[in-house]
A and B are shown apart, each in its own frame.
Chain A
């Protein structure tokens, strides 16, 4: 399997990369780690005329404190997140999720920014990004703009990032240890059939629940969050709330799982993720 022919460009700066995107328009694709884009190019589901490799752009791979948030460069690999002592201490949901992505080789190359912009409905990061209510910073020729995770995903393989823009940073809040990510994975690829990320905020008596793999786009299980607001998170409350994790959602139906099975799995994994997160609180 060989991709269709394309021109390859490797700009040295973000400004240069954005200028190239403006020049080549929708025929161009940004290449980060290449672990979402190269596979779809090999299948010829994507046939960009120009590939703009941003791996030589400086300062897109980092994890650092920024005010009361943690800033993660878009080119940071899954492995670098998995191995980050700062994230393990300040935002453990990300270090719990990272080693569940794909496999070791994929985690060495794949990047958080690349995965988010690709917006595969079965990718893992979206669940955590939604549950953490992250901010995503997008660079374009008119400067930078920040969007909330809940506004970022538009539909299947589609985000608010425009064809001449580049996602450059993800900012997450620091959390307590009462978080969890539980997924049912497709056996060969490791992609999520139903992945649920939970953040329990004991002080404010709120939970946030991000779901991936289940619908055409990842979502916040707002019904679950709403019934648990202010509640004591005992077994009955969790059971009852998890039962509505697929409310208002149209589950995907494909060779990996039927819609009914996905609706079932998201309830089970919501319950499990809530139980694990509470047990860590």
Chain B
């Protein structure tokens, strides 16, 4: 039986009728037409589907849309504002933090949450934070560079 799920996605109310078994990632991609969030392994491992749920990074393939009813979700589409990239997006651009790009939305959302909790992470802390995000192209070092770039950028802006 279908049920109405109401989630505030990137500040916009999204109200759609779905089955309780609908995963959050499919709600975002199929109902909201926000396809920046990727479906990767579907087994809670790869992190390509990472979004912010009430400000916390979660794997949207492992959450039912009904569990998010009444909550706030931020996806990669919600980061850039006024035509300007978010500092983490800028870091990935400037430091070549991607090749094929498939893992990138999830990597970026994870990095955004990391820098909120820990504005000056060490390279080791960044590695630990992105353990749940797999990249098969970069070998990770440019991703860590990108997140370090973003940390510096955010600190500069705050000054």
Structural contact, B45 and A5, CB atoms closer than 8 A: no
Question: With A7-B1, A8-B66 as given contacts, are A104 and B21 in contact (CB-CB < 8 Å)?
Answer: no
Task: Tell me if A11 is interfacial: C-beta within 8 Å of chain B.
Answer: no
Name the CB-closest residue of A to B21.
A3
- Tell me if B21 and A2 are in contact (CB < 8 A): yes
Residue ID in chain A nearest B59 by CB atoms: A105
With A8-B66, A34-B64, A109-B62 known to touch, is A104 a contact of B131 (CB < 8 Å)? yes
CB neighbours of A1 from chain B (8 A): 42-43
- Inter-chain contacts of B42 with A (CB < 8 A): 1, 42
> Total A-B pairs in contact (CB under 8 Å)?
83
Q: What's the Cα separation between A83 and B132 when bound, in Å? A: 18
Would you call A34 and B21 a contact (CB within 8 A)?
A: no
| In the assembled complex, A272 has its CB within 8 A of some CB on chain B | no
In the complex, how many residues of chain B place their beta carbon closer than 8 angstroms to a beta carbon of chain A?
A: 33
A255 touches B (CB below 8 Å): no
Which A residues touch B3, using CB under 8 A? 8
- From A34, A106, A189, name the one whose CB has the most chain B CB atoms within 10 angstroms: A106
- Indicate if the CB atoms of B63 and A34 lie closer than 8 Å: yes
Name B's interface SS.
Answer: mixed
Alpha-carbon distance A1/B42, docked complex (angstroms)? 7
- The total of chain A residues at the interface (CB under 8 A) is 31
Q: Which residues of B contact A (CB under 8 A)?
A: 1, 3, 19-23, 26, 42-45, 47, 50, 53, 56-59, 62-64, 66-67, 110, 113-114, 128-133
The reply to whether B43 and A39 form a contact with Cβ atoms under 8 Å apart is yes
Provide a sorted-by-A list of 25 A–B residue pairs whose CB atoms are within 8 angstroms. Answer: A2-B23, A5-B20, A5-B21, A6-B20, A6-B21, A7-B1, A8-B3, A34-B64, A35-B62, A38-B64, A39-B44, A41-B21, A42-B42, A55-B67, A102-B132, A103-B133, A104-B57, A105-B58, A105-B110, A106-B44, A106-B62, A106-B132, A109-B56, A189-B44, A190-B131
CA distance A257 to B62 in the complex (A): 26
Q: Is A243 an interface residue (CB 8 A)?
A: no
A:175-233 near B, CB below 8 Å: 188-190
Bound CA span A105–B131, Å? 9
